[in-house]
Structure 1
Amino acid sequence: MTGNRFSNHSYSARNVWSGVLFGIGLMALIDEIIFHQLLQWHHFYDDSTTQVGIFSDGILNAFALFAVVGGLFMYADLRRKHTVHMLKWIASVLIGTGSFQLFDGLINHKLLRIHQVRYTVEILPYDLAWNTAGFILLTSGILLLIKSKHRQAEE
């Protein structure tokens, strides 16, 4: 019986880590593609030359792809073992996306000041939208994760 509990706990944690890793990578890719490449509002690191900014975007892209692929490999292993808890995994994806967004908005934008959402505009509406979106994603993920734990306890 103890082995089953450990096994269930282990798979539960893998569901969470798979979703969080995928969510972080997904949001990093969305940020990179939309705000760095298509809109060209900023680079990951803007306190240097454009060349350094583009290089830093490449590093962010590599990290994002690694996180997405790693999260999906973990998810595929969970599927193969028939241990996916979809509600828990989706909750974890939301936690990952919201965590990345808030970390970027609060740490990268405000604390470290390595870039802003956008330049040459009134920044407050952009900051509020960016951080509010991250907070909503993170909070939604946490609430859904709590719901998934209650649902799993009932089963």
Structure 2
Amino acid sequence: MGSNPLFSKRNVWAGLLFGIGLAAFLDETIFHQLLRWHHFYDQSTTDVGLISDGFFHAFSWFATIGGLFLLADIQRRDGTDWSRWWGGVLVGAGAFQLYDGIIQHKLMGLHQIRYVENVLPYDLVWNISAVIMIVGGVYLLKRRQKKEDPSHE
């Protein structure tokens, strides 16, 4: 595939949406449903927490499916750039996770990752893994950009 700026941006956007949706879906499935560590909104009754999980789950699916529709359109037009797409996925997933860990867990207090006496190790693993995903995604995007830039040859 050539260096078409339209497809370049669409690959990143498709990856970002998919990454956000995937991270939200995994968070909802693993931590909310399977482990039952928390609900999206824990400041009320269990019923309210379950309803908030339902809305969160719907959001994750809308983002995931939206990203896949964009990817399908890009593939139909023969414009897929997997390096950009995967970079977008990692940045999207990491950004969602970092937003969740800092904004939702700490600033808004919607829920904690786990209700234990010392939540710090959980917070560190959650937020550090988010930063690692973002750095990996940015690396893929920058590496691809350098390959396309003739001034780097």
TM-score strictly above 0.5 = yes
- What are structure 2's unaligned runs of at least 5 residues? none
CA distance in structure 2 between the aligned counterparts of 1:139 and 1:121, rounded to whole angstroms: 31
CA distance in structure 1 between the aligned counterparts of 2:83 and 2:116, rounded to whole angstroms: 41
Residue in 2 aligned with 1:83?
79
Report % sequence identity: 51
Residue 91 of structure 2, aligned match among 83, 88, 95: 95
Once the two structures are superposed, what CA deviation does each residue of 1:102-137 show, in whole Å capped at 9, x if it has no partner? 000000001101000000331000000000010100
Letter in 2 for 1:105: G
Residue in 1 aligned with 2:5?
9
- What are structure 1's unaligned runs of at least 5 residues? none
Residue 64 of structure 1, aligned match among 60, 65, 70: 60
Letter in 2 for 1:111: L
Letter in 2 for 1:86: W
Alpha-carbon shift at residue 9 of structure 1 (Å): 1.5
CA distance in structure 2 between the aligned counterparts of 1:46 and 1:115, rounded to whole angstroms: 5
Residue 68 (structure 2) pairs with residue 110 (structure 1): no
Residue 76 (structure 2) pairs with residue 73 (structure 1): no
CA distance in structure 1 between the aligned counterparts of 2:14 and 2:99, rounded to whole angstroms: 19
CA distance in structure 1 between the aligned counterparts of 2:139 and 2:79, rounded to whole angstroms: 21
Residue 33 of structure 2, aligned match among 24, 34, 37: 37
Residue in 2 aligned with 1:22?
18
After superposing the two structures, state which structure 1 stretch, 48-57 or 145-154, moved more.
145-154
CA distance in structure 2 between the aligned counterparts of 1:151 and 1:110, rounded to whole angstroms: 40
CA distance in structure 1 between the aligned counterparts of 2:114 and 2:85, rounded to whole angstroms: 32
CA distance in structure 2 between the aligned counterparts of 1:41 and 1:89, rounded to whole angstroms: 32
Residue 49 of structure 1, aligned match among 42, 45, 51: 45
Residue 150 (structure 2) pairs with residue 120 (structure 1): no
What number of residue pairs does the alignment pair up?
Answer: 150
Letter in 1 for 2:15: G
Letter in 2 for 1:33: T
What CA RMSD, in Å, does the superposition of the two structures yield over aligned residues?
1.5
